[in-house]
Structure 1
Amino acid sequence: MLEKSVKTVIETCLGLKPDERLLIITDTATDPVIGDSLLKYAHRRSNDAVLLTMKERDYNGEEPPDLVKAAMLEADAIIAPTKRSLTHTDARINACKRGARIISMPGITAEMFGSGGMMADYIELDRMIRSVRPLFEDAKEVRVRSTAGCDLILDVTDCEWQVDSGICREPGIGVNLPAGELFVAPRGADGIAIIDGTVAGLEEEDTLLEVEIRDRRAVSITGRGSEKLKDLLDRAGDAAYNIAEFGVGMNPEARLIRNILEDEKVMGTVHIAFGTSAAFGGDVNAGIHLDCIIRDPEIYLDGERWNWEMIDPC
């Protein structure tokens, strides 16, 4: 099953060309079988591929070592199966500015690599998400409600909705794998978010959080796990309390497994994120990005109900 996923990553998603230089970045907390499998497959294709293993970062969005940063600037394509996310780092942004294509796989495990969200038909998933995007792009306001008490209003006027479908063939773009979400850096956010799913950085914790949000900032965080979440945010500084992202899960193969990489892609969920938004059209660079899952939401676009049954499944 790993062979299938390796082929999906390199052939289907990355579309790696024979003359391209591939950099694989992993760390001491990630199963080495993933990086090794990717490297061996690339070498069998005669690609100029290099594998770097760094020390595990402390949190999502923390910059990699300078040696890794330098290597990223020389690569045509990058695959990063790491414990903590490199997606929202200056290193990733600068590499993309140089034209690199980057697939980030933060928190990936060997079991995840060969099952669940990785089994999606990524060509069809790309088509499906792009077919939905115009509905969200036309909206000025997104409202999220749930029976758990969530009632959050996001101002998305003139915001650019981003597609993360796993297809990473154009210079300068970055995606996650497993993929499958439509997301945005909102202009504004107000209300109450009930986070009753996985919280990035606290995947092993039994969390249930109530977040009061005013002017796109979390002004109060209470509930199970709140002190630990606030500790993570406080380490990064005041900007970490920014509401950086709103995302809609779109991958029909993804499962809720208490791993934020896959959980945020689950069809029928949405998520918000704290911290950095500069990597995808926002105006905050906090040095941290923490996604948080909201289960069983109701979504309203300018007052009109939208749900996943309105799209064709893959």
Structure 2
Amino acid sequence: GGINVEPKHLNGIADILEKFLKDAKTIRVTSSIGTNILLDVSSRKWYRDVGIFEKGKIGNLPAGEIFIAPKNSNGLIMIDGSLTSIGRLKEPIRVMVKDNRIIEAPDFLKEAEALGEFGIGLNPFAVLSGNLLEDEKVAGTVHFGFGNNTSFGGTNEVPLHLDGVITQPIVFKDNKRFQLP
């Protein structure tokens, strides 16, 4: 599984992707099942989880993502991979966001109040299993975090953070489609 990846390999992928995305003003994510959300990421910092830990810092394994706290977001997210507290999904879960606020979603997701994170999976060894720590790292997927994002540049201060994975996203930087790693 995902634990078998070499951190230096992930770091190299993260370097390339972060360099490409650092000047992005917007990210749009669409999918064949209806996802269509626009994220304002201008002047926000991208963070990485590649399995290289500094002394005194914490992280999780398996590694393999870059992520950001969007300034704003509007649109529909159809989560079709997995979701915190549920695991693998049998049916997609619909989440509507307006001005970063969750306006339509199952009740337990509404408790998170806002969209707080957009992440891109980088780990070619990670497999979608229902364990979100690994699922959000699967190469070719993206995930959205709902709720708290104060530890990575956001302002959503709520007591929970729930992640939902989209398995076959189409992603655009400033209206230009790009290939996920």
Q: TM-score range by the shorter chain?
A: over 0.9
Q: Give 1:169 shift.
A: 2.2
Query: Which has more helix, going by share of residues?
Result: 1
> Is 1:195 aligned with 2:79?
yes
> Is 1:139 aligned with 2:139?
no
SS at match of 1:174: coil
Larger Rg: 1
Q: Percent identity?
A: 36
Identify the match of residue 148 of structure 1 among 33, 36, 50.
Answer: 33
SS at match of 2:165: strand
Higher relative contact order (CA 8 A, sep 6+): 2
Query: Which has more strand, going by share of residues?
Result: 2
SS at match of 1:279: helix
Report the Cα distance in structure 2 between the residues aligned to 1:270 and 1:210, rounded to whole angstroms.
15
Report the Cα distance in structure 2 between the residues aligned to 1:188 and 1:232, rounded to whole angstroms.
18
Alignment RMSD (CA, Å): 1.5
> Is 1:163 aligned with 2:48?
yes
Number of residue-to-residue matches in the alignment: 181
What's the TM-score, normalizing by structure 1? 0.55
Q: Give 1:212 shift.
A: 1.0
- Say if 1:192 and 1:210, in contact at 8 Å, map to a contact too: yes
- Say if 1:198 and 1:207, in contact at 8 Å, map to a contact too: no
Identify the match of residue 108 of structure 2 among 231, 235, 238.
Answer: 231
> Is 1:117 aligned with 2:11?
no
Q: Give 1:206 shift.
A: 3.3
SS at match of 1:308: coil
> Is 1:247 aligned with 2:119?
yes
Q: How does 1:19-98 map to 2 (within 5 A)?
A: none
Shift in alpha-carbon separation, 1:188–1:121, aligned structure 2, 3 A? same
Q: Deviations 1:222-274 (Å, cap 9, x if unpaired)?
A: xxxx3xxx23653xxxxx22101000000000001111111100011001011
